[in-house]
Copies of this chain bind each other. A is one copy, B any other.
Amino acid sequence: MDNIKDYVNKNQERFLNELIELLKLPSISADSAYKNDMLKTANAVKASLENAGCDNVEICQTDGYPIVYGEKIIDAKLPTILVYGHYDVQPADPLELWTSPPFEPIIKKTELHPDGAIFARGACDDKGQMYMHVKALEFMTSTNQLPCNVKFMIEGEEEVGSVNLSTFVKNNREKLKNDVILISDTGMIAKDVPSITTGLRGLSYVEVEVTGPNRDLHSGLYGGAVANPINVLTKMIASLHDENNHITIPGFYDKVEELSKEERNEMAKAPFSLDSYKKSLDIDDVYGEKGYTTNERNSIRPTLDVNGIWGGYIGEGAKTVIASKAFAKISMRLVPHQDWEEITQLFKTHFESIAPEGVKVKVKPHHGGQGYVTPIDSIGYQAASKAYEESFGKKPIPQRSGGSIPIVALFEQELKSKTILMGFGLDSDAIHSPNEHYGIWNYFKGIETIPLFYKYFTELSK
């Protein structure tokens, strides 16, 4: 691709400002209070695709938030890339921990980002990474260098499980037909260590409710005589891990793929400093499943984490009460071959079975998705590898991510094509956390690298 660097340099300011405008919209899919902002965001994405040269851009209605679709078909004989991304973001709370308002993007320099980083919810996950593809397309169309066909599918429910997207995909196999799916919704090891994500974990997300007495009770008059739903919930949750931090749900590990010594040695080669890891999180030690390293624990091993817990009096001061109910949101990260619906059922059956007398327990499945692994000998992976090599000056490392993009496994199943995960974020970007940010350098580097993938994928497909 000629002069892509020049093009980016010339348009840097506009590229930043356009993204900043998009980041000002609080498109939180988990909270229905933001419905209007979600629709505004979908329209903004539609406009940006049209400006980038997409044809037939449309807002596709679903039972939930709409999906923005657009395409540029230049020759039916040429390969087609399907770009997937999402315009919804995680909730921003706890707000008090943000150093600047989550939906008032500002650029600040950081140790890792001397050129500056955009601080805003969604800056990296996924508006910033999704918008790189829009700008890459703009470059290719405006300089007549688009080497193949492209389709865009940008959804608004990734952070809540992509339930309606899966229906949309099943109903639009022809429209979405493609030779490879390209996604930037993951990270890379470091700015000087480019990597391609070859694995994703699956997810099962549930909410549990423990009900004891039919009303809140005085802890003096009833304390010690009736089951306290909060005490019971803590016992039940605590029992889900044994002393080695193995998960105790019967059958949970049955289908877990055990990696070979060789594969684990290969993984161990990825640069990683436990000290700087601990330092960056301000923890005196790591914690996890016995027998596995930190990088294995958060990539090739399944996990169970409480994402939220609440019950009783949580206001200022003291209240001597025994709550009638206690709640928790619990998510399990799954590895390839674990079926999320089966795991959800195993959890439900087990959790209900360990409820002591005196309480009633409800388990409400929230959402989930399958894990995914992609081979490194595919044309897609090779094209991505050459693209990184050209723009970063070094070969990228294949890497398993601990995160989940539930829809990826479904893409392969329904559309029969592989997904290439070209992520440009860093673990330190604090996605899903206060002060999420995305390095300007990473943003521009992504815009530079993406067209090279188009070029090599088209060449290798010949």
| Residue positions of A touching B, CB distance < 8 A | 29-32, 90-91, 93-94, 97, 159-161, 187, 201, 203, 205, 207, 212-228, 230-235, 237-239, 241, 281-289, 294-295, 297-298, 301-303, 305-324, 326-329, 331, 333, 356-359, 366-367, 401-404, 427, 430-435
Residues of B within 8 Å of A434, CB to CB, are 215-216
Query: Within the complex, what minimum Cβ distance (angstroms) separates A207 from chain B?
Result: 8
Which residues of chain B have C-beta atoms less than 8 A from A297's C-beta?
Answer: 224-225
CA distance A404 to B318 in the complex (A): 14
Task: Tell me which residues across on chain B come within 8 A of A307, comparing CB atoms.
Answer: 219, 230, 312-313, 318-323
> Do residues B30 and A319 form an inter-chain contact, with CB atoms below 8 A?
yes
Cα distance, A364 to B285, chains bound together (Å) = 24
- Is A213's CB under 8 angstroms from B282's CB? yes
A272 to chain B, nearest CB (A): 11
Is B306 within 8 A of A230, CB to CB? yes
Contact status B314-A310, CB under 8 Å: yes
Q: Are B161 and A318 in contact (CB under 8 A)?
A: yes
Q: How far is the CA of A32 from the CA of B316 in the complex (A)?
A: 8
| B226–A31 touching, CB < 8 Å | no
**Which residue on B lies nearest to A161, using beta carbons?**
B318
When all copies of this chain in the complex are counted, the total is 2
Nearest-Cβ distance from residue A204 to partner chain B, whole angstroms: 11
What is the chain B residue whose CB lies nearest that of A212? B283
Bound together, the chains give a CA A446 to CA B32 distance in angstroms of 51
Whether A231 and B433, one on each chain, are in contact in the complex, defined by CB atoms closer than 8 angstroms, is no
The smallest C-beta distance from A151 to any residue of chain B, in angstroms, reads 27
Q: Which residues of B contact A404 (CB under 8 A)?
A: 220, 320
Q: Which 7 A-B pairs have the closest CB atoms?
A: A224-B303, A30-B317, A220-B403, A308-B312, A227-B287, A238-B238, A285-B357
- What's the least CB distance linking A253 to chain B, in Å? 13
Please give, as numbers and ranges, the residues of chain B lying within 8 Å of A356 by CB-CB distance: 287
Residues of B within 8 A of A224 (CB): 288-289, 297-298, 301-303, 305, 333, 402
Flag if A333 contacts B223 (CB, 8 Å).
Answer: yes
The residues of B that contact A430 with a CB separation of less than 8 Å are 215
The winner among A160, A187, A215, A225 for most chain B CB atoms within 10 A is A225
**When the two chains form the complex, which single residue of B94, B294, B366 contacts A225, counting CB atoms closer than 8 Å?**
B294
A367 to B235, CA, bound (A): 26
